[in-house]
Amino acid sequence: MPIRKMTFFNPYKKLPLDIKSAATQVSFSKHLSKNAYAGISTFIEDLKERQGRSFRTESEDESGLWYKLAKGQAIVKNHILYHYKDAVGVISSMIMNHPFWQYVSQRTSLSHIIFRLSYDVKKVLIKQKIPSHLPDAQLFSYLKQSYKQQRGNLFEMRTMDSLVALLLIAQMQQEKYNYARPTHAEKLAYVLYLYLFSYKYSIKNVVPLGVRINSILNGIPEAETKKSLTNQCCHNSLINTLENINELRISNLTGSETGVITLEELDIKNHPFFDLNNNGFSNFQTKLH
* pLDDT tens digits, 215-245: 999 998 888 887 777 667 788 889 999 999 9
H/E run at residue 284: strand 284-286
Give the count of domains, the chain: 2
Domain end (from 97, 130, 147): 97
Tell whether 77 and 149 lie within a shared domain: no
User: What span, in angstroms and rounded, lies between the C-alpha atoms of 261 and 249?
Assistant: 8
**Both 60 and 119 in a single domain?**
no
Containing domain of residue 47, as a range? 3-97
More confident residue, 285 or 87: 87
The whole-model pTM stands at: 0.91
**Poorest-pLDDT segment among 32-46, 87-101, 111-125, 171-185:** 32-46
Q: Which residues contact 184 (CB under 8 A, 6 or more apart)?
A: 148, 151, 173
The predicted pLDDT at position 58 comes to: 54
At residue 19 the predicted structure's pLDDT band, cuts being 50, 70 and 90, is very high
Q: Tell the burial category of 139 from Cβ atoms under 10 Å away from its Cβ (0-12, 13-18, 19+).
A: buried
67 and 149: one domain? no
Last residue of a domain, one of 55, 81, 97: 97
